[in-house]
A = this chain, B = another copy of it.
Amino acid sequence: MDAHGQARPGEVSVELPAAFDTGLIFIGRIRTPYATRAECPKNTRESDALATVELDPRYAAGLEGVELFSHLILLYWMDEARRDLIQQIPAHLGRRRGTFALRTPARPNPIALAVVELIRIESPNLIVRNIDCRDGTPLLDIKPYFASIDSVPDARRP
Protein backbone atom coordinates (compact mmCIF):
# COMPACT_ATOMS: atom_id res chain seq x y z
CA MET A 1 0.00 0.00 0.00
CA ASP A 2 1.37 3.43 -0.86
CA ALA A 3 0.99 6.67 1.08
CA HIS A 4 -2.35 7.31 -0.63
CA GLY A 5 -3.84 3.98 0.47
CA GLN A 6 -3.61 2.44 -2.99
CA ALA A 7 -2.46 -1.13 -3.51
CA ARG A 8 0.92 -1.49 -5.21
CA PRO A 9 1.28 -3.88 -8.18
CA GLY A 10 1.74 -7.39 -6.80
CA GLU A 11 -0.09 -6.80 -3.56
CA VAL A 12 -2.84 -9.32 -2.74
CA SER A 13 -6.31 -8.55 -1.44
CA VAL A 14 -8.95 -10.85 0.01
CA GLU A 15 -12.75 -10.72 0.09
CA LEU A 16 -13.83 -9.73 3.57
CA PRO A 17 -16.97 -11.04 5.31
CA ALA A 18 -20.13 -9.09 4.52
CA ALA A 19 -20.89 -8.21 8.14
CA PHE A 20 -19.00 -7.24 11.29
CA ASP A 21 -18.91 -9.60 14.28
CA THR A 22 -18.85 -6.95 16.99
CA GLY A 23 -18.39 -3.22 17.47
CA LEU A 24 -15.90 -0.74 18.86
CA ILE A 25 -16.33 2.49 20.76
CA PHE A 26 -13.92 5.36 20.18
CA ILE A 27 -13.01 6.42 23.74
CA GLY A 28 -10.93 9.45 22.80
CA ARG A 29 -8.53 10.91 20.26
CA ILE A 30 -4.74 11.07 20.05
CA ARG A 31 -3.32 14.52 19.34
CA THR A 32 0.06 14.46 17.60
CA PRO A 33 2.17 16.90 15.56
CA TYR A 34 1.44 14.84 12.39
CA ALA A 35 -1.47 16.24 10.39
CA THR A 36 -1.35 13.59 7.67
CA ARG A 37 -0.19 10.01 7.36
CA ALA A 38 2.70 11.09 5.14
CA GLU A 39 4.13 13.17 7.99
CA CYS A 40 4.09 10.33 10.52
CA PRO A 41 7.42 8.80 11.60
CA LYS A 42 8.00 5.24 10.43
CA ASN A 43 7.71 3.83 13.92
CA THR A 44 7.07 4.86 17.49
CA ARG A 45 10.73 5.17 18.51
CA GLU A 46 11.63 7.51 15.65
CA SER A 47 9.87 10.41 17.30
CA ASP A 48 10.62 12.14 20.56
CA ALA A 49 7.63 14.42 20.13
CA LEU A 50 5.04 14.49 22.89
CA ALA A 51 1.46 13.57 22.13
CA THR A 52 -1.74 14.16 24.06
CA VAL A 53 -4.20 11.36 24.60
CA GLU A 54 -7.57 13.09 24.89
CA LEU A 55 -9.77 10.63 26.76
CA ASP A 56 -13.53 11.21 26.57
CA PRO A 57 -14.30 12.67 30.05
CA ARG A 58 -16.97 10.02 30.64
CA TYR A 59 -14.12 7.50 31.13
CA ALA A 60 -11.90 9.71 33.33
CA ALA A 61 -12.43 7.55 36.44
CA GLY A 62 -10.68 4.75 34.58
CA LEU A 63 -7.36 6.60 34.93
CA GLU A 64 -7.19 6.04 38.72
CA GLY A 65 -3.85 4.30 39.31
CA VAL A 66 -2.43 4.87 35.81
CA GLU A 67 0.16 7.21 37.38
CA LEU A 68 1.79 4.16 39.01
CA PHE A 69 3.12 2.98 35.65
CA SER A 70 6.02 4.38 33.64
CA HIS A 71 4.80 2.92 30.33
CA LEU A 72 1.42 2.24 28.78
CA ILE A 73 0.11 0.35 25.78
CA LEU A 74 -2.22 2.38 23.59
CA LEU A 75 -4.56 0.68 21.15
CA TYR A 76 -5.89 2.95 18.42
CA TRP A 77 -7.84 2.73 15.20
CA MET A 78 -6.20 3.25 11.81
CA ASP A 79 -9.34 4.75 10.31
CA GLU A 80 -7.77 5.47 6.92
CA ALA A 81 -6.41 1.98 6.34
CA ARG A 82 -7.65 -0.57 3.84
CA ARG A 83 -8.78 -3.82 5.46
CA ASP A 84 -8.56 -6.20 2.51
CA LEU A 85 -4.81 -6.34 1.76
CA ILE A 86 -3.43 -9.70 2.88
CA GLN A 87 0.01 -9.49 1.22
CA GLN A 88 1.75 -6.16 0.93
CA ILE A 89 4.98 -4.68 -0.41
CA PRO A 90 6.23 -2.13 2.11
CA ALA A 91 8.51 0.52 0.59
CA HIS A 92 11.27 -0.17 3.15
CA LEU A 93 11.22 -3.90 2.35
CA GLY A 94 10.80 -3.86 -1.44
CA ARG A 95 9.22 -7.31 -1.58
CA ARG A 96 5.93 -8.96 -0.75
CA ARG A 97 5.14 -10.17 2.74
CA GLY A 98 2.01 -11.34 4.55
CA THR A 99 0.04 -8.73 6.48
CA PHE A 100 0.48 -10.68 9.73
CA ALA A 101 4.28 -10.43 9.37
CA LEU A 102 4.03 -6.63 9.05
CA ARG A 103 3.06 -3.79 11.37
CA THR A 104 1.39 -1.92 8.51
CA PRO A 105 -1.91 -0.20 9.38
CA ALA A 106 -3.69 -2.05 6.54
CA ARG A 107 -5.09 -5.29 8.02
CA PRO A 108 -8.52 -6.92 8.49
CA ASN A 109 -8.89 -5.17 11.86
CA PRO A 110 -6.77 -2.01 11.61
CA ILE A 111 -5.93 -1.81 15.32
CA ALA A 112 -2.49 -0.36 16.01
CA LEU A 113 -0.60 -0.58 19.26
CA ALA A 114 2.16 1.56 20.67
CA VAL A 115 4.19 1.21 23.85
CA VAL A 116 4.44 4.78 25.12
CA GLU A 117 6.22 6.48 27.99
CA LEU A 118 3.80 8.23 30.33
CA ILE A 119 5.08 11.77 30.92
CA ARG A 120 2.23 13.16 33.01
CA ILE A 121 -1.52 13.06 33.57
CA GLU A 122 -3.78 16.08 33.14
CA SER A 123 -7.02 14.20 33.63
CA PRO A 124 -8.81 13.24 31.43
CA ASN A 125 -5.75 13.73 29.21
CA LEU A 126 -2.41 11.92 29.19
CA ILE A 127 0.86 13.37 27.90
CA VAL A 128 2.96 10.58 26.36
CA ARG A 129 6.09 10.03 24.29
CA ASN A 130 6.71 7.57 21.40
CA ILE A 131 3.59 7.63 19.30
CA ASP A 132 3.59 7.71 15.53
CA CYS A 133 -0.01 8.17 14.45
CA ARG A 134 -1.87 10.92 12.63
CA ASP A 135 -3.39 13.77 14.64
CA GLY A 136 -6.97 12.92 15.61
CA THR A 137 -6.52 9.13 15.52
CA PRO A 138 -9.37 7.40 17.42
CA LEU A 139 -8.34 5.82 20.74
CA LEU A 140 -9.58 2.32 21.65
CA ASP A 141 -7.84 1.37 24.88
CA ILE A 142 -5.18 2.26 27.43
CA LYS A 143 -3.42 -0.60 29.24
CA PRO A 144 -0.60 -0.63 31.79
CA TYR A 145 2.67 -2.09 30.43
CA PHE A 146 3.94 -5.06 32.42
CA ALA A 147 7.58 -5.86 31.63
CA SER A 148 7.02 -9.33 33.11
CA ILE A 149 4.63 -10.33 30.32
CA ASP A 150 5.13 -7.69 27.59
CA SER A 151 8.91 -7.37 27.35
CA VAL A 152 10.95 -9.87 25.31
CA PRO A 153 14.28 -8.09 24.77
CA ASP A 154 15.84 -10.96 22.82
CA ALA A 155 12.92 -11.63 20.47
CA ARG A 156 14.24 -12.56 17.05
CA ARG A 157 13.31 -10.73 13.85
CA PRO A 158 14.75 -10.71 10.36
Residues in A lying within 8 Å of B, measured CB to CB: 12, 14-17, 20-27, 43-45, 58-59, 61-66, 68-73, 75, 77, 79, 83, 86-87, 96-103, 107-109, 111, 113-115, 130, 138, 140-158
Contact = CB atoms under 8 A, between A and B. Distances in A.
A156 B151 CA distance: 12
B16 A21 contact: no
Given A147-B155, A156-B70, A96 B27 contact: no
Contacts of A43: 146, 148-149
A24 to B, nearest CB: 5
A98 B150 CA distance: 20
A103 B144 contact: yes
B27 A98 contact: no
Given A22-B23, A130-B149, 14 more contacts: A21-B26, A21-B77, A23-B24, A64-B96, A64-B98, A70-B155, A73-B113, A100-B143, A103-B146, A111-B111, A113-B113, A113-B143, A115-B152, A151-B153
A127 to B, nearest CB: 15
